[in-house]
Structure formats: structure tokens, C-alpha cells
Amino acid sequence: MRLFIPYTTILLFASQTIYSQSYNIKDYELKPYHTDTFPDWKLLTYRFYTIQFEFDKADLRSSAYAELDSLAEWMVKHSEITFEIGVHLDTRWRDEYSLNLSGKRAYSIVDYLIKKGVNKNRLISKGYSDEIPIFNEDYIAKIKGTEDEELAQKINRRVELRAILD
């Protein structure tokens, strides 16, 4: 089975093994996905690759605003769901500082969504640093020095939005 990692967003069904280390970089296929047609959140986790931050900061890049505006509009209309906003860094980061940075980045997304009208009680921010990579260090070591190495790190750097079910 192929996973489709778009430049914008990916959706994964809960029955899939999301963090399996058995995937090969060649199994990923980049494909656009539009956030204006969100399906049933109870079954899905979304990955955002266009929500990016300034280097070594928690400041959102202006290129992230359109995606977040669309997401906020959808969340306001579907007020029955609580979400975790998780920020993941690539495997080059390895310390308490990176865990703190990913937490601040997650909070900056939550803060932006609150300013756009999403109820703060429906949002949870979580920084994961490099705790749950899609491509682990062993795999990246095997492809070191290739263009696939940077792609693997880019795939590891992501924002995930997950429904919290009661």
C-alpha cells in the first residue's frame, strides 16, 4: 500500500500503522490534497507540511496562514470535536531545547486558531520534537548523502492534527 504525502495535507485512516519504520522513502508519493473537503475526523489524522515556522523559532511563516484560516473556519463550523495539534521535528534535533521548541510551535498554532474564533477548550498543543519520526535515524543513516536524506527529514518535520475522542 502506498501512502500519499502531499505538499499540503495527508490523511491517514486509524487502522493504518502510521509510524511504521518499514516504509521506504520511495513508497511516498507527493500528491495535492485540499483541506476544504474534510471528511469524518473520528477516523483520521491530518498531516500538514505547509504549516511551517521561521528557522529555530516558534513564529509561523506567512505561507501557513491560508491553511490555518481554512482549518479554523472548518473547526468553528464543527464545534463538537476536540483536537490535538502536534508538532514534530526532524531527527537532527536531540535535546530538551528541541522538545521545548516543538511545544512552543504547537502552542503558536493553537493561539492562531483561537484568534480565528476556535474555542480554546477544544485545542490541545503537544510538542513531540523527534520522538515519533516517520523515518528513524537508522533508515536515514542508510540514505545519508543522497537527496532522499533531506526528503526524509522534511517528511519527519510536520504538524499533525488528531481528533480526541471522548
Neighbouring C-alpha atoms within 13 Å toward the C-beta of 136 = 8
Q: Where are the domains of the chain?
A: 3-164
CB 90 within 8 A of CB 49: no
Q: How far is the C-alpha of 45 from the C-alpha of 9, rounded, in Å?
A: 10
Q: Match 501557513 to its residue by C-alpha cell.
A: 64
Distances from the Cα of 14 to the Cα of 19, 83, 142, 163, angstroms: 11, 15, 29, 11
CATH superfamily of 3-164: OmpA-like domain (3.30.1330.60)
| Helix/strand/coil for 109 | helix
Neighbouring C-alpha atoms within 13 Å toward the C-beta of 62 = 0
CB 10 within 8 A of CB 3: yes
CB 114 within 8 A of CB 125: no
Q: Rounded to two decimals, what is the model's pTM?
A: 0.76
Residue 48 grid cell: 500538514
Residue 103 grid cell: 511545544
Residue 66 grid cell: 491560508
pLDDT in tens for each of the 166 residues of the chain? 333 333 333 333 333 333 333 344 555 544 333 444 444 445 467 888 889 999 999 999 999 999 899 889 888 988 888 889 999 999 887 788 999 999 999 999 999 999 999 999 999 999 999 998 888 888 889 888 888 888 888 888 999 988 886 6
CB 30 within 8 A of CB 43: no
